[in-house]
Chains A and B, each alone.
Chain A
């Protein structure tokens, strides 16, 4: 209360001069006698409450962000169409909608792969992603090679590494033929840690 009065008096006294008003005035804290015991308890109590509340709030926040890292996404069998689409001895481009997709994925849910029909009824289905750093490999029918546009990885028609930096051959999908259709076990983006 006394502080207030002081400030008001000062302000009045100040009007009209160019000292800059009350800058710096009223900034000092009143010297209140510390009520040590009570304040010590209140402080600890407050810190404890805040800590508990913070933890409670952090659980959903952290859980929301790290959720995707913990979730177990299941691959599904995806239909790549009739086996007759893939003539024997040839490698064909195929696309499918990723079974693990979200409403906002848009075109990104589309996925491509290379289907090689080794002989009738026997397939190899390669992920589009280069085993080096994931760029899309392209098939060259004439030289029977897959080439990557990023860092120059090259693979033979059976997916084995031919040249360049890839540490391994192309990733392969598991496949099966059911009712004349070629199905592959697809979903997660292939990577070195865990193949498709």
Chain B
């Protein structure tokens, strides 16, 4: 058989299909459309997001073959997938890690588009579909956490329900709509299941389709250069001319970079999943098991942090209004400025805004992870009293140390770097408060501390004050000035704890600490 005949044999079925579908004519521009020569490594993050989304669909469908979407046995079915199904744990790990990776890649992609001003004319709708994709993916992440149906999922839903419940007038109805009834139960899980596997993935696929169509229609933006300004009336013509003249075909010129980056991401994903394993499930979803410490997944940790730090008086308004305002601002970005400079160096205000937003999210996430406002629930029973605080103390003072633990003070106050961070660390309390002030503070509370007056008898009070009055560095005097400054609550975990060791603190350190 000669070469010509061989080509014919391959060609004929291809032609047959092409004639009936037009698939080659359709996909040729998808592959070979021209992209800017300057589009280099900054442009890989969108592709990586899409790759992780594909992984989510594949692994999600696989998990769907075994997961039992029923509150009575969802948790057991996950344990079964993890422990009995061959490689089931790996599938769950891939799904979980790929979910996080998708959120991260999407955030980087969005940040890049914002910083490069790529949302400007004619790509306003690229940005807006991207914003809706972000919301869809975050909703997928939240509903995915609910699928684990463990204690975090249960109480996370409780937090969601409590926020929805605060909506004026319709709060109760909206909460019932969200939970599928008056309690968190079977209908709740199935509602979130329908969202997680049907509605949200469908929405995401549709939005990805629109997003990609817009990319084909408007082209990939060039790297911004100072002075190359976007003028809507002439931009498209100029862009198309430049693509004709200096553009390179997407495949293979740009695609090869995407392939390298996605390949690295994929390998990393498999290693992360294999090494760290799946997320949860945590404790059984039994609301009577209350020794739990509910925390959201990482994409929502900053919200968890934010709701802890809001002033109580206005928190309802802020919780309900800020998501709406935030989404509105994101959607409005391209309308606020769709022309002019794209270069970061010419948009310093926008760069500052991006930096502030990123830093705020990082800081709130850190606050959420460390949760300095949460009492350490077992601080009183599990943490040892540092030896330097009991060495050489009188029996009364040592009794005070016992009362200090017994009255759960340690749940909110640190000693020697361990304990709750809700109130100030008390390592050097004697330098800040006189015994009388300590009595008043313990008895009456205040400054976000409960009053212990009714719960401690006078002997306990005397002991505890006796103990606290000894807590100071060796070379520092007691607080003797009447009305000495009350300790400020240490809210931020970024404020380092005193390196006090009880014996000979270097002068400059203790001076720095005492001036706080």
Contact = CB atoms under 8 A, between A and B. Distances in A.
A111 interface: yes
Given A100-B181, A104-B186, A189-B182, A152 B165 contact: no
B440 to A, nearest CB: 16
B122 to A, nearest CB: 27
Contacts of B73: 106
B294 A149 contact: yes
A108 B184 contact: yes
A142 B406 contact: yes
B292 to A, nearest CB: 7
Which of A70, A108, A164, A166 has its CB near the most chain B CB atoms (within 10 A)?
A: A108
Nearest to A95: B288
Given A105-B185, A165-B310, A192 B162 contact: yes
A144 interface: yes
Interface in A1-38: 11, 18, 20-24
A167 interface: yes
Contact of A110 (B165, B175, B182, B286): B286
Contacts of A194: 172
A32 B304 CA distance: 63
Interface string B149-191: 0000011001101110110000111111101111111111110
A163 B155 contact: no
Which of A23, A68, A129, A188 has its CB near the most chain B CB atoms (within 10 A)?
A: A68
Contacts of A156: 450
A104 B70 CA distance: 6
B288 A134 contact: no
Interface in A124-183: 128-129, 132-138, 140, 142-145, 147-152, 154, 156, 162-167
B326 interface: no
Contacts of A103: 72, 186
B407 A147 contact: no
Nearest to A114: B290
Given A150-B294, A152-B373, A162-B445, A191 B175 contact: yes
A129 B158 contact: yes
A93 B454 CA distance: 22
B190 A104 contact: yes
Nearest to B157: A134
Contacts of B165: 191-193
Contacts of B22: 23
Contact of B18 (A23, A68, A187, A188): A23
Contact of A133 (B159, B176, B292, B373): B159
A163 B449 CA distance: 6
A70 B176 CA distance: 8
Nearest to B173: A69
A140 B70 CA distance: 35
Interface stretch (B49-57, B110-118, B239-247, B374-382): B374-382
A69 B458 CA distance: 53
Interface string A95-123: 10010111111111111100000000000
A193 B290 contact: no
A111 B288 contact: yes
A115 to B, nearest CB: 13
Which of B159, B179, B445, B450 has its CB near the most chain A CB atoms (within 10 A)?
A: B450
Given A142-B380, A193-B166, A136 B373 contact: no
A68 B177 contact: yes
A100 B186 CA distance: 11
Given A105-B71, A105-B72, A143-B452, A68 B159 contact: no
A43 interface: no
Contact of A191 (B25, B172, B187, B304): B172
Given A68-B181, A134-B158, A142-B408, A107 B450 contact: no
Interface in A33-74: 65-66, 68-71, 73
Nearest to A96: B288
Given A111-B287, A144-B455, A151-B307, A163 B176 contact: no
Contacts of A106: 70-73, 186, 285
B515 interface: no
Given A71-B176, A108-B154, A112-B290, A163 B445 contact: yes
Nearest to B16: A21
Contacts of A109: 183, 185
A151 B406 contact: no
A111 B450 CA distance: 28
Given A138-B290, A191-B161, A108 B183 contact: yes
Interface in B278-310: 284-288, 290-294, 304, 307-308, 310
Contacts of A71: 176, 181
Nearest to B73: A106
A73 B308 contact: no
B19 interface: yes
Contacts of B181: 68, 71, 73, 100, 102
A14 B364 CA distance: 66
B109 interface: no
Interface string B402-413: 000011110100
A147 B377 contact: yes
A192 B164 CA distance: 10
Interface in B398-449: 406-409, 411, 422, 445, 448-449
Given A95-B288, A151-B374, A189-B183, A21 B15 contact: yes
B11 interface: yes
B84 interface: no
Contacts of B288: 95, 110-112
B323 interface: no
Closest 8 CB pairs of A and B: A106-B72, A104-B186, A162-B450, A188-B182, A191-B165, A134-B158, A105-B185, A21-B19
Interface of B: 11, 15, 18-19, 22, 24-25, 70-73, 154-155, 158-159, 161-163, 165-166, 171-177, 179-190, 284-288, 290-294, 304, 307-308, 310, 312, 315-316, 373-375, 377, 380, 406-409, 411, 422, 445, 448-452, 454-455
7 contacts: A93-B290, A102-B187, A107-B285, A136-B287, A140-B380, A147-B377, A150-B308
Given A102-B185, A165-B307, 10 more contacts: A129-B158, A133-B163, A136-B290, A138-B290, A138-B291, A142-B408, A150-B294, A163-B448, A165-B315, A193-B165
